[in-house]
Amino acid sequence: MDKKLKIKLSFEISQIDKLINDGKPLLKLCEEKIPNYIEISAAALLLHSFYNGIENILILIFKNSKEEVTGEKWHSELLSKAFVSVASRKQIFNDELSEPLEEYLKFRHFIRHAYGFQLEWLAMEDLVKRIENIWNKVKEDLNEFMLDPQL
């Protein structure tokens, strides 16, 4: 793997690690009780930042492999391309992550166009409670991907 790309990817991974680690008190609180408006708003920002970080990683990989992602639905295209291998790179994520990451993408889209009072805990609860588990799987796949000498 290109050394510069590996450094950039490692940095992005460390940023999401920090996001999740710093968010642990909030995640714990959300496990223990139904969060109030302020806590739900904070959890929404955590979810949004989490998925944006994953997109940042994918953008770095696709730029490195000279793959273009453009158009009105580029966010969806970006994610779907991560589950396919092409001549310049192998598949990034295992298929089991397709559905969960799609849910984070949908939430990211929703939160970008919503007012805070429109947030509903029941619609976010699963995403919040699964974020650490999903991140660990994503990170495992990314670490495996970065071992590919083809990059």
Fold for 3-146, please state it.
Answer: Four Helix Bundle (Hemerythrin (Met), subunit A) (1.20.120)
Which tens digit of pLDDT belongs to each residue from 41-94?
Answer: 999 999 999 999 999 999 999 998 888 877 778 888 999 999 999 888 899 999
- DSSP assignment letter at 140: H
The set of residues, in sequence order, having a beta carbon less than 8 Å from that of 16 and lying 6+ positions away, is 50, 53, 54, 135, 139
Angle CA 91–94–96, to nearest 5: 150
CA atoms of 50 and 7, how far apart (whole Å): 19
**Contact (CB, 8 A) for 141 and 93:** yes
SS3 for 25-83 is: HHHHHHHHCCCCHHHHHHHHHHHHHHHHHHHHHHHHHHHHCCCCCCCCCHHHHHHHHCC
Which tens digit of pLDDT belongs to each residue from 88-122?
Answer: 889 999 999 999 999 999 999 999 888 888 999 99
Token duo for residue 34: 């139904």
The structural domains of the chain, with segments of one domain joined by +, span: 3-146
Mean pLDDT of 119-145: 96
